[in-house]
Amino acid sequence: QSALTQPASVSGSPGQSVTISCTGTSSDIGSYNYVCWYQHHPGKAPKLMIYEVSNRPSGVPDRFSGSKSGNTASLIISGLQAEDEADYYCSSYTSSDIYVFGTGTKVTVL
């Protein structure tokens, strides 16, 4: 099972929006709505930001949203803030009954 493909980095100025893509296959993202997004500040525990493609856990700002089309999922961060600077990883359940993470995207706030 290969890692899902994400851009290595994206950047934006405070207040702008950025979109992170996560491309898989018909054996993972394309077949299941079990796509999650995690925020990871190095040295800290990863934090669940989005589950089941577009749902936010309580406490996650509504600036974070998710969507999916075909084999590609996306995380949109609107109104970018300094504290959003972190690494972001998508994950998906797969037809092999295991999970796969994305390659990770570093978000930089300019």
Residues of this chain that interact with another protein (CB under 8 A) are 1, 3, 32, 34, 36, 38, 40, 43-48, 51-52, 57, 89, 91, 93, 96-104
Q: Which two tokens stand for residue 11?
A: 């950047």
At closest approach, how far in Å is the CB of 82 from another protein? 23
Nearer to another protein, 17 or 31 (CB): 31
To which residue do tokens 């961060």 refer?
A: 77
Nearer to another protein, 85 or 87 (CB): 87
- Give the C-alpha separation, 29 to 16, whole Å: 27
Bridge partners of residue 47, in order along the sequence: 39
